[in-house]
Structure 1
Amino acid sequence: MAGLKLENVTKTFGDHDAVSNVSMNVANGEFVAVLGPSGCGKTTLLRLVAGFEQLNAGQIIVGGEVMSAPGQSVPPELRRVGIVFQNYALWPHMTVAENVGYSLKVAKVDRATREKRVADALALVDLQGYGDRRPANLSGGQRQRVALARCLVSAPSLVLFDEPLANLDVHLRAAMEDEFAAFHKRTGTTIIYITHDQAEAMALADRIAVMDRGRLIQFATPRELYEEPATEMVASFIAQGMVVPCEVLSNETNGRCRVRVLGQEAEFRCRKGQGVTADAKVCIRSADISAGGDGPIGVIVRRSVYKGGGSRIEAVAKADESVDLHFELADPHRLEEGATARISIGSGWVIPAEGAA
C-alpha cells in the first residue's frame, strides 16, 4: 500500500496540454475519484500514473519513489500499480484462475505459490469456487470482479480504476459500487478511480478531484464540493448547481454573508473574508428553492417534467430571463409550461472570486 504524489504534472500532445500543471497528494489507503467532463484529462492522468504515457513536466511519486519525471520513467511492469479497465480485458480461452494468475506465470512464480495467491485474490472479491469457469459463463459483475482479482494478485501498492462500471446496467452498477466500497474497507488499498459518473464518485470516494480542460479545479471531500464549490465550473458541474448573479451587501460572522439575489435579500454561506461587492455569483441547489405562496422571486415555467411523486420544474427568473432555475414540486401541486409562480431561495453559497484564497 502506498500513497501517490503528483507535482506540477503536465502532458502535452502537440500544442495541446491534455494535463496542465496538476498537483495532488493522495494519502496511503485513500480512495480518490477523478471526475470531470469528457476531454478534461482524467484518463490521460491515469495513463501517466500507470506509466503508459510520459510526462513533459513535473513528477509522479508512488510510495516515496519517483516513477516519472522529464527524462526518467519506471516501466509500467515495475511500478507495482494495478489497473482495472472498463472492458475487463479477460482472455476468453483461459479459465478464471488462469486469467487471474497469468502475470504470476509470466513472472515465473512457482506453481504452489501461484495457486495460493490466485485463491487468495479470488477470495478477496468473493469468487471462491469460480476458478475453473470461463469468462463467457460469468455475469458482467462477476467478470468485473475477476478483473479486480487479476489486478490484486500481483499485490499492487496502488490500484487504478478506469471507469470500471461504465459497461454495466444500472442495477448491476449499484451492486458493484457496494462491492468496491466493501473491498476498499477490507483491504485499505490506495485507489484512484476515474469516472464521469458523479453519483459513483460521491458514493465511493474519500475525496474527489474535479478536472476541466486538463487542470485540477478542486480537490475536496464530496460534501465540500457540493456545499462549497471553489469555482463557477465546479458549482454548475456538481449536482447541476445553478450559478446566479448576486450582490454581497455585508459580511456577517461565522461564514455568513448578507446578499441580494434576484431581488431577494437573505443570509447565505460564504468564505471568511468575503468582500462586499455588487458583482458576485452564488451557487444554489434545487433543494434550496421553495415554490408557492408569496415568495419574493417571480419565475416563468419553461418546462415541467413528471418524475413520479412530483415534477422537475425548469424556469427562468422574471427579473432576468437569462437566469435559468430548476426545482422540485411535489404532487399534487402542478405548474405547466408558460405558467408564472413565486419562489424563495432559502440557502446558497457565495462562490469565491477567481484567485481568492
Structure 2
Amino acid sequence: MAGLKIESVTKTFGSMNALSDVSLEVKNGEFVAVLGPSGCGKTTLLRAIAGFEKVSDGEIRVDEVVVSSRSVNVPPEKRKVGIVFQNYALWPHMSVAENVGYSLKVAKVAKATREKRVEDALALVDLTGLGDRRPSNLSGGQRQRVALARCLVSTPSLVLFDEPLANLDVHLRASMEEEFADFHKRTKTTIVYITHDQAEAMALADRIAVMDHGKLIQFATPRELYQEPRSDMVAAFIAQGMVLPAKLMSVPENGQCKVQLLGQDAVFRCASDQATVSEAKVCIRSSDIEIVDKDGIPVAIKRVIYRGGGARVEAYPVARPDLQLTFDIPDPVTLLEGDTANIRICSGWVIPQGDPQ
C-alpha cells in the first residue's frame, strides 16, 4: 500500500484559507487520524487528497506520484484512492455484491474477474456469503462494511475514511472500532481517518494529526498528544485538559522542571528544549488533582455531578476565580455546591514555548 506526503498545502476559498501551509507524511501501512473541532479544515484536507478540491498551493503525493499541485490535478478516479463515507451511499435496489462490484462493472472488467474480486473484498470485511442480500436486510455495521468492501474492490493505494462511525449508535460504534482495527491489522492498508471523536482517534490511530483553523497544530502518537501537548490548543482539546498559568522556577533537568502554580511549588514534566521563561503555561488532567486536608490550594466548589461510584467536581481556585478546575472523587461523595476544599496538583506538563509542531 502507498504512503501519502502532503507538503505546504494551502487551499483558499475567496479570502479564507481553509488549509494553511499543511505538511504531513503518512507512512506505508500507517493508520493516521485527522482530528479537530468543526471548521478546522479536516474535511477540506480529505477532499484535497481525494481530488475533489484543487489545492491553491503546495503538493500532494500518493506513492511518490504527484496528484495535486498548482499545476497538477489528477482526477479522483485516477488517483487509486478509496473513500468510505459516513452515510454508506449504497444503492438500495442492488444486492450487496452488485453494490461492491459496480465500479468494476462500469470499468468493463470481465464478469468472472469481477465476481472473484467482489468475493475477495467481501471476505476481507467478513461478509462472505452475504452477497445476495439487499442493504435493507443488513445491520448498520454490516452496511458500513459493504461500503468498505466497495472501496477495497478497486484495490486503492490509500483509503480515506470520512467520519464513518458518525451515524452509528454508541454500542455499534465500539463494535466497528474493533472491526476497523482488526481490518487494518490484517491488511496493513494505509489509512487516513477523518473524525471529530477523540476516543475514536485514540483507539484506532498509530498517529493523530490535530488541526485547528486550517493549520496542522501537532502530529504525534495518541500517548504523546495526551502526555506532551505542544500547544495550548492541543492541551485543552485533548481529553479536556486544563491550561493554567505558572512560573517556571528552573531549567529542564532529567525531563522535569520546578514550577510555581497557584501559589504552590511543584515539579512537572517538561521538554528537554523548554525555554527558560518566568511566565509559562502548564497542562493538567483531572487525574492530577487530589483533595488534601491541609496545606493545599483552596478551591470553591461550583458543581458536583454524580456519575455512579463517584462524582465529577467543577471548582475554581479561591485566589483565581477566573480559572476552572475539574476533578473526580470516589464515593462516598460529601462535597456540595458552595463548599470549599483544599487540593494538591500532583503532576502536570509544562507546555513548550515557541513552534507548536
Fold shared by both chains (TM-score > 0.5): yes
What secondary structure sits across from 2:131 in the alignment? Answer: coil
Tell me: CA distance 1:191–1:356, structure 2 relative to 1, closer, same or farther (3 Å): closer
Partner Cα distance (1:273, 1:109) in 2:
57
Partner Cα distance (2:205, 2:356) in 1:
26
Partner Cα distance (1:148, 1:275) in 2:
47
Cα deviations by residue, 1:92-132 (Å, 9 ceiling, x for unpaired): 00000000000000111100010010011001100011100
User: Given that residues 252 and 271 in structure 2 are in contact (C-alpha distance below 8 angstroms), is that contact kept between their aligned partners in structure 1?
Assistant: no
Partner Cα distance (1:174, 1:249) in 2:
44
Q: What is the Cα deviation at residue 356 of structure 1?
A: 6.9
- Structure 1 runs of 4+ aligned residues shifted over 6 Å read none
Instruction: Give the partner amino acid of 1:117.
Output: R
Q: TM-score, normalised by structure 2?
A: 0.99
Partner Cα distance (1:217, 1:273) in 2:
18
> 1:264 matched to which residue of 2?
264
> 1:344 matched to which residue of 2?
344
> 1:13 matched to which residue of 2?
13
What secondary structure sits across from 1:77 in the alignment? Answer: helix
What secondary structure sits across from 1:54 in the alignment? Answer: coil
User: Given that residues 58 and 70 in structure 1 are in contact (C-alpha distance below 8 angstroms), is that contact kept between their aligned partners in structure 2?
Assistant: yes
> 2:137 matched to which residue of 1?
137
Instruction: Give the partner amino acid of 1:346.
Output: C
- Which has the larger displacement, 245-254 or 113-122? 245-254
> 1:115 matched to which residue of 2?
115
> 2:36 matched to which residue of 1?
36
Unaligned segments of structure 2, at least 5 residues: none
What secondary structure sits across from 2:250 in the alignment? Answer: strand
> 1:328 matched to which residue of 2?
328
Q: What is the Cα deviation at residue 78 of structure 1?
A: 0.5
> 1:240 matched to which residue of 2?
240
Instruction: Give the partner amino acid of 2:80.
Output: R
Partner Cα distance (2:324, 2:197) in 1:
23
Cα deviations by residue, 1:118-176 (Å, 9 ceiling, x for unpaired): 01100110001110000011110000000000000000000000000000000000000
Partner Cα distance (1:295, 1:275) in 2:
30
What secondary structure sits across from 1:199 in the alignment? Answer: helix
Instruction: Give the partner amino acid of 1:124.
Output: L
Q: TM-score, normalised by structure 1?
A: 0.99
What secondary structure sits across from 2:278 in the alignment? Answer: strand
Tell me: CA distance 1:37–1:118, structure 2 relative to 1, closer, same or farther (3 Å): same
> 1:53 matched to which residue of 2?
53
Counterpart mapping for 1:273-292 below 5 A: 273-292=273-292
Cα deviations by residue, 1:272-295 (Å, 9 ceiling, x for unpaired): 132343310000001111113225
Q: What is the Cα deviation at residue 335 of structure 1?
A: 1.3
What is the RMSD of the two structures over their aligned residues, measured on CA atoms? Answer: 1.0
> 2:26 matched to which residue of 1?
26
What secondary structure sits across from 1:132 in the alignment? Answer: coil
Q: Is it true that 1:2 corresponds to 2:2 in the alignment?
A: yes
What secondary structure sits across from 1:327 in the alignment? Answer: strand
Partner Cα distance (2:249, 2:297) in 1:
18
What secondary structure sits across from 2:164 in the alignment? Answer: coil
Instruction: Give the partner amino acid of 1:355.
Output: D
What secondary structure sits across from 1:314 in the alignment? Answer: strand
User: Given that residues 258 and 266 in structure 1 are in contact (C-alpha distance below 8 angstroms), is that contact kept between their aligned partners in structure 2?
Assistant: yes
User: Given that residues 298 and 340 in structure 1 are in contact (C-alpha distance below 8 angstroms), is that contact kept between their aligned partners in structure 2?
Assistant: yes
Q: What is the Cα deviation at residue 255 of structure 1?
A: 1.1
Tell me: CA distance 1:69–1:156, structure 2 relative to 1, closer, same or farther (3 Å): same
User: Given that residues 248 and 275 in structure 1 are in contact (C-alpha distance below 8 angstroms), is that contact kept between their aligned partners in structure 2?
Assistant: no
> 2:76 matched to which residue of 1?
76
Cα deviations by residue, 1:193-239 (Å, 9 ceiling, x for unpaired): 00000000000000000000000000000000000000000000000
Q: What is the Cα deviation at residue 38 of structure 1?
A: 0.1
> 1:305 matched to which residue of 2?
305
Instruction: Give the partner amino acid of 2:314.
Output: E
User: Given that residues 251 and 273 in structure 1 are in contact (C-alpha distance below 8 angstroms), is that contact kept between their aligned partners in structure 2?
Assistant: no
What secondary structure sits across from 1:250 in the alignment? Answer: coil
